[in-house]
Structure 1
Amino acid sequence: MSVGVLCIHGFSGGPYEIEPFTAYLRAHTDWLIEEPTLSGHGEELQMQGFTAKHWLMDAELAFRALAKKVDEVLVVGFSMGGIIALYLAKRYKVKKLVLLSAAAKYVSPKQLVKDFKMLASEAYHRNLSNNELFMRYRHKFNNVPLSSTIEFMRLVRMVEPYYKDIDIPVYIVQGKLDGIVPYHTAQFLYDELISNDKTLYFSDNGKHHICFDKDCTKWFSQVLTFLKG
């Protein structure tokens, strides 16, 4: 039986956000792995004018194209991509779901303040250019229109009523130090989804870009076991 995996990145990001995990899947399976870039997203952000509907349609088209090539489709979604993954699960025949830092709620102000205090301290000590978090977000702060952020919030609200209809197997991974998605969001999602087969994994030191955290190989193997099971 042929298997396809559709991997959906986050808001204002690109496939690079989940690349360590997709590389792991490619190394350990012969599955067909697709990583579409949502409209306006990617290495160079051009988000003006694109809406939640564009991003959902991008994901639908990618899902349909993949479903034509394989017998079953697994969907992995990171951050906003996790919400889009739930949207697909409501509308299409998705075999299993993996939700990474899924943005059902967003922005933990406490953690953001901590992160920015750390950035300020590093800037003071002239070490900012070496700070991965700063480099990752500096580009976003300068290139994400407010209208796009409003569309992101609209998408989250649009999909929320679907949670209670999702009954397929799901694996949720969440970092406790996530500064974008409050970590209790994962418990909220776990409780809302009606699936009988669901797992919730908390990374004690995990931040938002969970695929880049030091302990990611722990859950990479567990998620692969779940997807193969």
Structure 2
Amino acid sequence: MTIEADFLRRIPAEALRTEEGVDMLDLLDLVGMLPSTFSTGSMRASTPRGAGTKPSARALRHLPTRDYAEAAPVPTRPHRMHPMLENKPFFLKASAERVCLLLHGLGGGPYEMQPLAESLYAQGLSVLAVAYPGHDKPARRMPASTWPEWYGHIEATYRKLAGAFASISVVGFSTGCPLALHLAAHWPVAKLVLISPFVSVRHRWFYLLPPEAYLYSVGRLLPQVPRRRLPVRDRAMREAAEQAAYYRTFNLCAVRSALALVGTVKAELSLVRSPLLILQSRRDSVVAPSGAEYIYRRVRSRVRQLHWFDKSDHILPLDLERKEVYERVGRFLL
């Protein structure tokens, strides 16, 4: 049994219910964090705060209750340390009113957002990171999945959060950005943050044709392509991310589905009115940086900001300028 599973077994059932009556057990089960061995009938009385041994920080990372979160908050890791990244959904509950939903990139996972989430949590914001269908289990090859499956999971999570929190903000990374925009076009989103938004693949002169042209031609004959090293210029963070990542290939069916999602979202940008912050690196080797300006000019958000970075690659939350990313996102959301 994992530390998290053992610790959850010792939480009284009433501690997993919010003041509004929403059952946090349901929410944990929805995002795939509830251990299969968990049973409310097997739980015993909790130890009073301050008595006995305190649970570890690793166990607390997955604990949704306000009491334990206030007793021992998870600190933000120093930015120069080699981090321990974990590729699984997590829920850090601090605020009873505000929560931030974190959406990862295509072929990635919650590890891409983990240090940012810990920074926001340390500042008093509840955060929840999901793993999409087709991204939630280790495998040698990336499974096929589609954007309606990813969005269906996101929307179900959003609806659960809406029953527990008064305000929901959304932070998307890469393909998580069009998913976040699609959500904001149809549901109330307090604030919206887009990091390295995927609108199109970055085109290089030696490609001859746009990358999308290959995906819809010869790409239909190839179900998988090898994944190159992760686009992170910080070597220590790249190594940590590569250890956490599940897949060593890209499923091209999933990539084409992501492009279909972008086509859908482009027609909906005028419906997005949430306050918006966009963060984009000019040195992004994966997505076309011009996509950030495309979104900025077409949404109807009265409050919108676009900030450029010059040192990092695609995965901004893990790269050289991540400290500034955390600071800007924190100021915007809080």
TM-score interval for Structure 1 and Structure 2 normalised by the shorter chain: 0.7 to 0.9
For normalisation by structure 1, the TM-score amounts to 0.83
C-alpha separation in 2, matches of 1:71 and 1:134: 33
Instruction: Tell me what 2:315 maps to.
Output: 209
**Where does 1:32-181 land on structure 2 (aligned, <5 Å)?**
32-42=126-136, 44-45=138-139, 47-109=142-204, 132=239, 135=242, 140-142=247-249, 144-181=250-287
C-alpha separation in 2, matches of 1:106 and 1:75: 23
Greater Cα shift, 96-105 or 47-56? 47-56
Instruction: Tell me what 1:192 maps to.
Output: 298
Deviations 1:46-84 (A, max 9, x none): 753421110110110111111111001000000010110
Count of aligned pairs? 212
The list of structure 1 runs, each at least 4 consecutive aligned residues, that deviate by more than 6 angstroms after superposition, is none
C-alpha separation in 2, matches of 1:151 and 1:19: 25
Contact 2:142 2:248 in 1 (8 A): no
SS at 1:171 equivalent: strand
Deviations 1:159-197 (A, max 9, x none): 111112211100000111111111121111111112120
> Which structure carries more relative contact order (alpha carbon 8 Å, separation 6+)?
1
C-alpha separation in 1, matches of 2:131 and 2:320: 26
SS at 1:73 equivalent: strand
SS at 2:148 equivalent: helix
Seq. identity, %: 27
- Say which one has the larger Rg: 2
- Residue 140 of structure 1 deviates from its aligned partner by 4.4
SS at 2:268 equivalent: helix
Instruction: Tell me what 1:183 maps to.
Output: 289
Instruction: Tell me what 2:19 maps to.
Output: none
SS at 1:201 equivalent: strand
- Give the alignment partner of residue 328 of structure 2, picking from 216, 222, 225: 222
C-alpha separation in 2, matches of 1:226 and 1:110: 37
1:39 corresponds to which letter in structure 2? P
C-alpha separation in 1, matches of 2:143 and 2:135: 10
Decide whether aligned partners of structure 1 residues 42 and 207 sit closer, same or farther in structure 2, where only a CA change above 3 A counts.
Answer: farther
Runs of 5+ in structure 2 lacking a partner?
A: 1-95, 208-227, 230-234
Instruction: Tell me what 1:14 maps to.
Output: 109
- Residue 154 of structure 1 deviates from its aligned partner by 1.1
Decide whether aligned partners of structure 1 residues 42 and 206 sit closer, same or farther in structure 2, where only a CA change above 3 A counts.
Answer: farther
Cα root mean square deviation, aligned: 2.9
Decide whether aligned partners of structure 1 residues 14 and 134 sit closer, same or farther in structure 2, where only a CA change above 3 A counts.
Answer: closer
Instruction: Tell me what 1:23 maps to.
Output: 118
Contact 2:138 2:247 in 1 (8 A): no
Contact 2:182 2:268 in 1 (8 A): yes
Runs of 5+ in structure 1 lacking a partner?
A: 113-117, 120-127
Decide whether aligned partners of structure 1 residues 163 and 131 sit closer, same or farther in structure 2, where only a CA change above 3 A counts.
Answer: closer
1:106 corresponds to which letter in structure 2? V
C-alpha separation in 1, matches of 2:192 and 2:271: 14
- Residue 139 of structure 1 deviates from its aligned partner by 6.6
Decide whether aligned partners of structure 1 residues 195 and 78 sit closer, same or farther in structure 2, where only a CA change above 3 A counts.
Answer: same
Decide whether aligned partners of structure 1 residues 139 and 63 sit closer, same or farther in structure 2, where only a CA change above 3 A counts.
Answer: closer
SS at 1:174 equivalent: strand
